[in-house]
A = this chain, B = another copy of it.
Amino acid sequence: MTLHGHVPPEPDLVQLLTPEGTRVQHPDFPLEITDEEIKSLYRDLALVRRFDGEATALQRQGELGLWASCLGQEAAQVGAGRALRTQDMAFPTYREHGVAWCRDVDPVTLLGMFRGVSLGGWNPNENNFNLYTIVLGAQALHAVGYAMGVTRDGAVGTGEPDRDTAVLAFFGDGASSQGDVNEAFIWAAAGNLPVVFYCQNNQWAISEPVERQSRVPLFHRAAGFGFPGIRIDGNDVLACLAVSRVALDEARSGQGPTLIEAYTYRMGAHTTSDDPTRYRLSEELETWKHRDPIERVRAYLVRQAGVAQDFFDGIDAEAEELAVRIRAACRALPDPGPLSVFDNVFVDLPDELAEQREGYREYLSAFEGAGH
């Protein structure tokens, strides 16, 4: 026998709404959803895109130091975000603006981080949305530890809908290569933890195509660690919602971890500092434009649900308002004062650091005196 040479077939991805906006059924993932609910998802998608676009514009105008756009990944994020219950906890990377939106984190707070007025600055436990984590993969382990806590708190498998808690850990195709993500798989499996790993495979890690990380679909990884993995159409908000719901439900009920690979595409640059024309072909982008996650929902709503134009106009107006608000609020974000660097280093400020702070305060006040 040879050990090599068995090539698994390219997997199907779960899809409930085609790029053309046709609702299809999946035998394993039926989704009961009303047109009103789909309209609400449309609103999420449209507002997230508008917010994201506004942030990119703010960066171009020098109001932000950097922006990592989620353009093209709105469905993957909103689908997952809307599958969460209040008590669930999400651990994002630095690109989950769509999930932040679903968790009611103020977009302006997010902007503050990219503007450089803070390093994060929201309270993870307020909206059950962890701080952005920039070090690739580190948050996967945080999610696992949080899930250990959930289990210990007895908040798994009780059957009480408001009590049973799941944890949703985000990471990218690139980050899947980090040791931390794989250790997280091990911890999750060994502890049968209520955590859903949600990998947005957007095909790129800056300039590296996903083929640099793996020669098999990423969702396969899970089986090797002893838990289920599944690939979904990450540009189909209904598939993302449906499968996330099942996985989160199973986590809450004590059935352990799942890996969801949301197959999607980074439509923009990696960040505003990046120039993707150096490493990828525009044809690829064109192909993916036909799979736009928002267009297909709009097509469905127009063609199959008969939603009229003023609904869309209303959303557009709301988006415009949002953009105006966050633009103004972003510009108004105050810079932190120089002495703020000593705040929150510790709960208990050591004398030595207090002394350093005091020395710096004196130094600064000497300038004031000198009219600097």
Contact = CB atoms under 8 A, between A and B. Distances in A.
Interface in A144-194: 177-180, 182-183, 186, 189-190, 192
A186 B224 CA distance: 13
**How many copies of this protein are present in the complex?**
2
A220 interface: yes
Interface string A213-247: 11110001111111111100000000000000011
A213 B225 contact: no
A327 B226 CA distance: 46
A341 interface: no
A224 B220 contact: yes
Contacts of A228: 3-4, 6
A256 B177 CA distance: 18
A225 B214 contact: yes
A228 B6 CA distance: 8
A5 interface: yes
Contact of A183 (B3, B177, B190, B225): B177
A212 interface: yes
A27 interface: yes
A128 to B, nearest CB: 22
Contacts of A3: 228, 230, 246-247, 250, 255, 258
B224 A2 contact: no
A29 interface: yes
A182 B140 CA distance: 15
A73 to B, nearest CB: 22
Nearest to A215: B226
A4 B250 contact: yes
A183 B189 contact: no
Contacts of A258: 3-4
A347 interface: no
Contacts of A1: 27-29, 246
Nearest to A246: B3
Contacts of A6: 228
A175 to B, nearest CB: 11
B189 A178 contact: no
A208 to B, nearest CB: 10
Interface in A9-57: 27-29
Contacts of A221: 224-225
A215 B27 CA distance: 29
A220 B226 contact: yes
29 contacts: A1-B29, A2-B246, A3-B230, A3-B246, A3-B250, A3-B258, A4-B227, A4-B228, A4-B250, A4-B258, A178-B179, A178-B183, A179-B179, A179-B182, A179-B183, A182-B182, A182-B183, A186-B213, A189-B215, A192-B215, A215-B226, A216-B226, A220-B223, A220-B224, A221-B224, A221-B225, A223-B223, A223-B224, A224-B225
Among all A-B residue pairs, the 7 with the closest Cβ atoms: A179-B179, A224-B224, A1-B28, A182-B182, A216-B226, A4-B255, A221-B224
